């Protein structure tokens, strides 16, 4: 969804995400979102459930999928 804030005229694209529990499917998602981001000249605001965490403390179990969080999720945000 594309939006413009009425009073400030700030423009952005809002993308709702519900990522898969599969690491390989999430990798595909991040690659597609990277391509999507490059097709807009305005910021992209991502909202949703990414099924990833950057730190073990963000999970109630304390278990962290290192390959998902470091190789996929974290690198996606540094590409932006």
Is-contact 41 12, C-beta < 8 A? no
pLDDT digits (tens, 9 = 90+) for 6-36: 999 999 999 999 988 887 888 888 888 888 8
pTM: 0.66
What's the domain count of the chain?
1
pLDDT digits (tens, 9 = 90+) for 28-80: 888 888 888 888 899 988 899 887 766 667 666 656 566 555 566 666 666 54
Domain that holds residue 9: 2-79
In whole angstroms, what is the distance from residue 53 CA to residue 44 CA?
A: 20
* The residue to which tokens 């990833």 are assigned: 52
């Amino acid at each position: 969804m594309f939006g413009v804030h009425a009073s400030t005229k700030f423009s952005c694209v809002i993308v709702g995400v519900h990522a898969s529990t599969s690491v390989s499917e999430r990798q595909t998602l991040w690659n597609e979102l990277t391509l999507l981001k490059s097709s807009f000249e305005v910021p992209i605001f991502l909202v949703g459930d990414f099924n990833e965490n950057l730190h073990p403390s963000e999970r109630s179990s304390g278990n962290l999928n290192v390959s998902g969080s470091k190789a996929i999720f974290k690198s996606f945000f540094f590409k932006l």
